[in-house]
């Protein structure tokens, strides 16, 4: 018999090996088969994550919802269910893996962020696209869970007209990027043009311009944000207030680093991509437990006023000190 608590604590405590075999070797009177059966039999979902995190978020109308996806890298796996070739931003290209769409809540600049929902991208199983997962999670957050955050941030992958209409219909303000080939209209006379065809006087660079997107029944404010290395982000928002200038749009867009930070921590500190079980249910349960493990580390780190990386490194400090005082394997020396 093994419990979820034991499995989560294993994910927190093991340094590199996240397999059922390794856990069985270190947990008294529990076999590999017992652990495998637990992962196949149990059903952990994102709802369990919400039950844990809902009392921790600093929710208000000034808070943000961040939506993005991540790929659990399984490039060397050939028989794990749900693994398929897909684009990974971390890799910068296609990789075999399991895709996950995440909804992260943040109170803004202070960086207090927590995942509040997630969906495994497995269209062959449930028929849902990433955009459909986006819409379901957003609706659940606003309608069912009554999240008070009024601003939503996502990248160009999710900037479809359907998603923009949904966010606007829910009374939320969005900030998102557009791909350079997106068509916008500055006025009826000139029709639609590509983003890089627009002229940008200094005043427009500062204040943005009001444009129309195809199939979007409301206007948006467009900003051209040029990085120091010359890279360009095309940022749009449905907040047409005059106070929303280029700096405001850039600061909003920069908040996306928080969801990227969460993706990196989940992979590096909980072994989210390291499960070797072939069964899809086992992979789903492992992932759900990884979110629980991350949350446990986050809460502990906050209580100690340390980084999440520091609290996990500290787990192995006592072992290292003991070995340095009295090494069980001393350095070989010639007599």
On average, the pLDDT of the chain sits at 93
CB 10 within 8 A of CB 17: no
What CA–CA distance (Å, rounded) separates 276 from 154? Answer: 31
Residue 107: inside a domain: no
What CA–CA distance (Å, rounded) separates 149 from 153? Answer: 11
Residue 38: inside a domain: no
Residue 213: inside a domain: yes
Residue 22: inside a domain: no
Residue 297: inside a domain: no
Residue 246: inside a domain: yes
DSSP state of 238: S
Sign of the alpha-carbon torsion through 80, 81, 85, 89: negative
Residue 178: inside a domain: yes
State the residue range of the domain holding 193: 173-255
Q: Structural domain tally of the chain? A: 1
Cα dihedral 154, 53, 12, 23 in deg (nearest 10): -100
What tens digit of pLDDT does each residue of 157-171 get? 999 999 999 999 999
Buried b / exposed e along 150-173 (16+ C-beta atoms within 10 A): bbbbbbbbbbbeebbebbbeeebb
Residue 231: inside a domain: yes
What tens digit of pLDDT does each residue of 51-65 get? 999 999 999 999 999
In tens digits, what is the pLDDT along the chain, a chain of 335 residues? 899 999 999 999 998 899 999 999 999 888 999 999 999 998 999 999 999 999 999 999 999 999 999 999 998 888 899 999 988 877 778 999 999 999 999 998 777 999 999 999 999 999 999 999 999 999 999 999 999 999 999 999 999 999 999 999 999 999 999 998 899 999 888 789 999 899 999 999 999 999 999 999 999 999 999 988 989 999 999 999 999 999 999 999 999 999 999 999 999 999 999 999 999 999 999 999 999 999 999 999 999 999 999 999 999 998 899 999 999 999 999 87
């Amino acid at each position: 018999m093994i419990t979820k608590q034991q499995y989560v604590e294993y994910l927190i405590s093991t340094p590199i090996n996240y397999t059922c075999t390794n856990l069985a070797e270190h947990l008294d009177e529990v076999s590999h088969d017992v652990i495998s059966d637990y992962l196949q039999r149990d059903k952990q979902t994102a709802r369990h994550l919400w039950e844990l995190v809902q009392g921790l978020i600093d929710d208000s109308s000034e808070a943000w919802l961040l939506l993005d996806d991540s790929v659990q890298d399984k490039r060397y796996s050939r028989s794990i269910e749900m693994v398929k070739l897909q684009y990974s931003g971390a890799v910068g290209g296609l990789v075999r893996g399991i895709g996950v769409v995440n909804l992260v809540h943040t109170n803004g600049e202070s960086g207090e962020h927590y995942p509040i929902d997630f969906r495994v991208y497995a269209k062959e199983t449930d028929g849902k696209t990433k955009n459909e997962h986006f819409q379901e999670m957003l609706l659940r957050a606003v309608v069912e869970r009554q999240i008070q955050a009024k601003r939503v941030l996502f990248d160009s992958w999710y900037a479809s007209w359907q998603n923009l209409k949904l966010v606007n219909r829910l009374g939320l303000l969005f900030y998102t990027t557009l791909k350079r080939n997106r068509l916008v209209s500055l006025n009826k006379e000139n029709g639609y043009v590509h983003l890089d065809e627009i002229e940008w006087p200094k005043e427009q660079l500062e204040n943005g311009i009001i444009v129309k997107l195809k199939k979007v029944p409301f206007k948006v404010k467009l900003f051209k944000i040029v990085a120091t290395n010359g890279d360009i982000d095309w940022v749009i928002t449905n907040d047409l207030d005059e106070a929303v200038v280029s700096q405001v749009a850039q600061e909003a867009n920069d908040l996306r680093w928080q969801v990227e930070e969460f993706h990196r921590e989940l992979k590096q500190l909980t072994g989210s991509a390291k499960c070797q079980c072939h069964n899809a249910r086992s992979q789903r349960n492992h992932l759900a437990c990884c979110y629980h493990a991350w949350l446990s580390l986050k809460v502990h780190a906050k209580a100690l006023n340390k980084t999440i990386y520091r609290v996990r490194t500290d787990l192995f400090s006592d072992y290292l000190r003991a070995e340095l005082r009295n090494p069980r394997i001393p350095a070989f020396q010639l007599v």
